[in-house]
């Protein structure tokens, strides 16, 4: 499932705004979904540990596929395994648990009044 949101263009404000994406019940537990947030492809995940948002781009495979990865855990850490080469990423930080120095940019995600919202990370 791909969810697209329509928002105003990005501003130069120091803090990005929260962008509504979809109702929380559209996110199946332990499955990923791709969303277009302010022009960026984001992979959203809902687990027992909370809501997580990472860039959808697999940094190793170079394709926008992380939303289709396998959600799980490693040592109590919520994770997603890339569907391409199976590298495992910490959903809380975006850090690859298999390859030192590799990470996926993460974004803030929250549920407010039953609606999932994402705030993109600051660039730079």
The full set of domains in the chain, from first to last, is 21-119 (2.102.10.10)
What CA–CA distance (Å, rounded) separates 9 from 38? 7
pLDDT of residue 16: 79
Give the pTM.
Answer: 0.85
19, containing H or E segment: strand 19-23
Q: Look up tokens 């687990």; give the residue.
A: 47
pLDDT of residue 38: 92
What pLDDT score was predicted for residue 96? 98
Residue ranges of the chain with per-residue pLDDT less than 70: 1-15, 123-124
Phi, psi of 28 (to 5 degrees): -75, 140
Q: What's the burial of 117, exposed, middle or buried (CB within 10 Å: 0-12/13-18/19+)?
A: buried
């Amino acid at each position: 499932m791909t969810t697209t949101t329509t928002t105003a263009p990005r501003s130069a404000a120091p803090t990005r705004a929260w962008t509504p994406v979809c109702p929380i019940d559209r996110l199946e537990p332990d499955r990923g979904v791709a969303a277009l947030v302010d022009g960026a492809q984001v992979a959203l995940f809902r687990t027992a540990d909370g809501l997580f948002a990472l860039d959808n781009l697999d940094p190793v495979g170079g394709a926008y596929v992380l939303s289709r990865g396998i959600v799980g855990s490693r040592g109590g850490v919520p994770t997603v395994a890339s569907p391409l080469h199976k590298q495992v990423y910490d959903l809380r930080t975006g850090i690859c648990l298999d390859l030192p120095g590799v990470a996926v940019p993460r974004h803030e995600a929250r549920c407010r009044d039953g609606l999932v919202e994402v705030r993109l990370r600051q660039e730079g």
